[in-house]
Structure 1
Amino acid sequence: MRLAELSTRSGVSTATIKYYLREGLLPPGRRVTATQAEYDEEHLRRLRLVRALIQVGRVPIASAREVLTALEDDSLDHNSRLGTAVWALPHGPGPTEDDPHTDAARRTVDALLERLDWENAQAYGAHSPAYGMLVTAVATLARLGYPCSVDDLAPYARAGRQLAVSDLDLIERYESSEEQLQAAVALTVLYEPVLLALRRIAQAEESNHRFGQGTSEQGTSA
């Protein structure tokens, strides 16, 4: 297919495709004339992955290039490739080392992971952006005086494990490794608002059961 068809099928403008080509995010097409090239289904799949990383995941160009490099690294297994793709996504702030609550928060997180027997998470430790984000969140909870012990956090961790099973079930619906990488990025980003919305709806339901009169009138009086 020519550049115009690649643009139509991918939903990415020709100018953006040319930019991705210049940045090395998309391999060059097969040259047919001095000014034209042909592209195939592999280019379309790669372009969708690049779009998922940059346009959906808001991953910087340099980080997207790292993900694509990992994709082509035959020494990495599929699990490592998926991890690289998801870790490249923007995360919340890491821990502030001069915060007196940070060390205690890190001990709490380590104790939580040990209780759950999440050995891989413990091994990644400080190298994981999610680990750092969790330490920061726990430190903030402690600083403000809210519950954040291992017992308090464990139910959330167990729920997170069940969500991870659902995430990987969705990703495995896609056949090729590149499609799974694209799905891992896109679904991680796009399902987070779904999780937030469902949690708040569930909170309203539970609050009504505990404190309401059996029916909810929240929002009906506006």
Structure 2
Amino acid sequence: MRIGELSRRTGVSVATIKYYVREGLLPPGRLTSPNQASYDEGHERRLRLIRALLDVGGLSVAGVREVLAALDDPERPLHKVLGAAADRVVPRYADDPGEVLAAREKVTELIRRRGWLVDDRSPAADALAVALAALDEVGHAEFAEQLLDAYARAAEDVARVDLGYVNRRGAREGLVESVVVGTVLGDAVFGALRRMAHVDASARLYGDPDAEDHEDG
């Protein structure tokens, strides 16, 4: 297909496609004449992945380049490729003295206790440490002590479901796109479901059992 058709199929402007080619994110098309190039479905898949990494994952062009380099490395295990994508869509936090450093110890202990194959200095571990430090700062340190393992068990269940979905995507590019989209939008879905469940649980625990009768009347 010509670049115009690739643009129509993906919704990405011709100028942007050319920019991605110049930046090394998208392979150039196959030259069919000095001024014409042909593109195929592989270019379309790669272009959709680039847009997912940029628009959904919020990565920089440099970050996208790193993920694509991992994806295109045949020696890189799939686990490492997916990790490279996931790590770059989780906010990174700078080291902070005091509360955050203490919270990092809790995160390290959680990883050890759960037997997780996770680096305790990964972006996700950093994010958890910052969240735990914030809970401590507002007087809810017992949250981690009482609920952290229950949250971890729930996260393990969700992770298994997530990876079951990702595993059905087939090609490596489809897997990477699923991880990026699933990490960002999956967090939004899970957060919304959690809030809805809170409303239901609160209504059942604290609500007026006759409230519906009053409203109907």
- TM-score (structure 2 length as normaliser): 0.92
Q: Distance in 2 between matches of 1:149 and 1:25?
A: 42
The separation in 1 between residues aligned to 2:198 and 2:177, in whole angstroms, is 32
CA RMSD of aligned residues (A): 1.7
Give the 3-state SS of the residue equivalent to 2:133 in structure 1: helix
Whole-angstrom CA distance in 2 between matches of 1:194 and 1:53: 18
C-alpha separation in 1, matches of 2:79 and 2:211: 45
- In the alignment, what sits opposite 1:94? 93
1:32 partner SS:
strand
User: 3-state DSSP class of the match of 1:9?
Assistant: helix
1:19 aligns with: 19
- Partner amino acid, structure 2, of 1:214: P
In the TM superposition, residue 152 of structure 1 has moved relative to its aligned partner by: 2.1
Structure 2: runs of 5 or more not aligned: none
Q: Is 1:162 paired with 2:160?
A: no
Runs of 4+ in structure 1 off by over 6 angstroms are: none
Kept in 1, the 8 Å contact 2:93–2:123? The answer is yes
- State how 1:165-184 maps to structure 2 within 5 Å: 165-184=160-179
Deviates more, 1:47-56 or 1:144-153: 144-153
- Kindly report which structure 2 residues correspond to 1:1-222, keeping only aligned pairs within 5 A, or say none: 1-91=1-91, 93-94=92-93, 96-98=95-97, 100-118=98-116, 120-121=117-118, 124-126=119-121, 128-146=122-140, 147-214=142-209
Q: Is the CA contact 2:111–2:120 (under 8 Å) kept in the aligned structure 1? A: no
Gaps of 5+ in 1: none
Identity %: 42
Deviation of 1:52 (Å): 0.7
Indicate the SS of the match to 1:149: helix
| Offset, 1:105 | 0.8
**Alignment length, in residue pairs?**
212
DSSP-derived class of the 1:52 partner: helix
Q: Is the 8 A contact 1:174 1:180 kept in 2?
A: yes
- Structure 1 CA distance, aligned partners of 2:193 and 2:179? 20
Residues 95/212 of structure 1: CA separation in 2 closer, same or farther (3 Å cut):
farther
Verify the 8 A CA contact 1:30 1:38 in the aligned structure 2. Answer: yes
One-letter amino acid of the counterpart of residue 97, structure 1: D
